[in-house]
Amino acid sequence: MCKLIVILYRRQDFTRDRCLVYLRDVHGPMAERLPGLVAYRQNHVVEDATRCDPEWDAVVELCWETREAMENAWRTPEGQAATDDLAAFADLERTSWSIVDEQIRR
Beta strands in the chain (DSSP E): 2-8, 39-44, 58-64, 96-100
In this structure, the strands spanning 39-44 and 58-64 are antiparallel
Q: How many domains does the chain have?
A: 1
pLDDT for position 18: 98
Q: What is the pLDDT of residues 23-80, one digit of tens each?
A: 999 999 999 999 999 999 999 999 899 999 999 999 999 999 999 999 999 999 999 9
- Domain extent at residue 22: 1-54+89-101
- Residue 2: inside a domain: yes
- Residue 35: inside a domain: yes
Instruction: List the beta bridge partners of residue 39.
Output: 63
- Residue 11: inside a domain: yes
- Residue 82: inside a domain: no
